[in-house]
Amino acid sequence: MDEAAESVNKMSWGTQLWDQYENISSQTNKGIEFLEKYCSFIQDRLAIEKEYATKLRRLAKNYQPKKREEEDNEFSSCQAFRNVLKEVNDLAGQREVVAESLEQRIVQGIQVLSRALREERKRCLNEGTSLQQTLTAQLGALDRAKRNYEKAFRESEKAVENHKKADMDLNLSRAEVERYKNIMTSKIQQSDDAKNEYANQLQKTNNLQRQHYSVALPTVFNRLQELDEKRTGGIREFIIGTAEVESAVAPIIARCMEGIVKAGESINEKEDSFKVIERYQSGFTPPTDIPFDDLSKQNPDSPMDSRVLSSHFTVKGTISKGVKRRPAIFSFFGSNKVSVYVCL
């Protein structure tokens, strides 16, 4: 341990802060309030974790394939998506684990520590207040004893002076002088008694004050220091604990990510493309070219001979611009059979 660290360890509130009772009281209260503020932060965080988990589960549920979509399950992309939904649902479970662990390990731990710290602080402050009241009472007794002594001493001095004047006054009788003497003797005795009481109270006060500032109050202050250090150390452990809670589920989350990657890698676009062919292939061959229907050959009596007819068609057998025709109608859907209808 280096010199600086050793010096810090030797520092104590009892010796360094012997006259800072109010500041120590305020500091320990603010420290506990800070601990409780951190507890509120964790509570808000785990509430977010719970909400996140709930929304992830709802998301996975909402995107589960419907019965009418079951026919698409054969495609690798659809199968991969179902696996992704499963992993997302597992991720939601891990966020719930995080929230539960934060609640049980961190929040409840802070609450227990906070209650213990507040109770200990209250005991320390009550003890410190009692010690201070005892010292204050003793200082009051000392002050009264000192005032009594001062008063008795002044009265004794006055009695001595009066006795001297009476003894020198030839007009006073011996009895009168004796009376002054008796008063003087009584006042001197009272002054001595007050002096002894003052000395006794001063000794008691000094002993108590020495004990108060060297042992009793430092003990209380050191307990408050230990309390505050325990609170600070607790925050350190709780912060580390939140990371440990997260780290505990990290391997499972990593496996979920691996599962999502695996689901993605399982998609085979060529295989899915082939399955589309398997699903929709009719087995029939595409239609052949439509032949040209020469009406003149079908009706020899037609007034139009082949030369006239040929002038209305192109060499490729299509209808020329001079002849209008209705559009062709093709029907390729509705059954596995393909029917072709041509209307000219």
What is the tens place of the pLDDT at every residue in 240-284? Answer: 999 999 999 999 999 999 999 999 999 999 998 998 888 888 888
> What pLDDT band is residue 56 in, cutting at 50, 70 and 90?
very high
Of the three residues 276, 308, 326, the one that is the final residue of a domain is: 276
74-to-61, 69, 116, 182, 272 alpha-carbon distances in Å: 20, 10, 61, 128, 8
pLDDT of 292 strictly over 90: no
Three-class SS state of 340:
strand
pLDDT over 50 at 312, yes or no: no
Q: What is the pLDDT of residue 181?
A: 92
Does residue 12 form part of some domain?
Answer: no
Residue 343 clears pLDDT 70, i.e. is over it? no
- Helix axis angle for 76-101 and 217-265, nearest 10°, is 170
Domain boundary among the residues 229, 245, 276 is at 276
Residue 4's SS3 state is helix
Instruction: Report yes or no on 79 lying in a domain.
Output: yes
User: Is the alpha carbon torsion for 212, 216, 220, 221 positive or negative?
Assistant: positive
Residues 49 and 191 in one domain: yes
Q: Does 44 fall in a domain?
A: yes
Least confident of 54-63, 245-254, 312-321: 312-321
Report the pLDDT value the prediction gives residue 279, as an integer from 0 to 100.
Answer: 86
Same domain, 339 and 234: no
Q: What is the mean pLDDT of the chain?
A: 85
Q: Is residue 281 part of a domain?
A: no
Q: Angle formed by the axes of helices 21-62 and 217-265, to 10°?
A: 20
**What pLDDT is attached to residue 298?**
66
Last residue of a domain, one of 276, 306, 327: 276
β-pairing, 329-331 with 339-341?
Answer: antiparallel
258/321 same-domain check: no
Q: Please enumerate in sequence order all residues whose Cβ is within 8 A of that of 69, keeping only pairs 6 or more positions apart, or say none.
A: 78
DSSP state for residue 272 in the 8-state scheme: H
- 230 with 298, same domain: the answer is no
Q: Please tell me whether residues 257 and 293 are part of one structural domain.
A: no
Q: Mark whether 125 and 75 lie in a shared domain.
A: yes
Query: Whose structure tokens read 């964790």?
Result: 42
Tell me the whole-structure pTM to 2 decimals.
0.71
Q: Are residues 256 and 324 in the same domain?
A: no
Residues 242 and 103 in one domain: yes
Does the structure show a pLDDT above 60 at 305?
A: no
Does residue 326 share a domain with residue 214? no
Backbone angles phi, psi at 340, to 5 degrees: -120, 125
| Predicted confidence (pLDDT) per residue in 177-214, tens digit | 899 899 999 999 999 999 999 999 999 999 999 999 99
Q: Which residues form the domain of 243?
A: 17-276
Domain contains 217:
yes
Same domain for 72 and 121? yes
Q: Would you state the structure tokens that stand for residue 306, as one six-digit string?
A: 């082949």
Count of residues making up the chain: 344
Residue 7 located in a structural domain: no
Q: 322 Cβ partners below 8 Å, 6+ apart? A: 312
**Does any domain span residue 342?**
yes
CA–CA distances in Å: residue 338 to residues 94, 213, 290: 55, 109, 14
Considering the domain architecture, whether residues 154 and 293 belong to the same structural domain is answered as no
pLDDT at 94 over 70: yes
What is the rounded distance in angstroms from the CA atom of residue 267 to the CA atom of residue 60? 20
Pair (225, 107) in one structural domain: yes
User: What is the tally of structural domains in the chain?
Assistant: 2
Other Cβ atoms within 10 Å of 316 Cβ, number? 6
CA 40 to each of CA 37, 110, 281: distance values in angstroms, whole numbers, following the listed order: 5, 10, 64
Is residue 4 in some structural domain?
no
Q: Which CATH number do you get for residue 70?
A: 1.20.1270.60
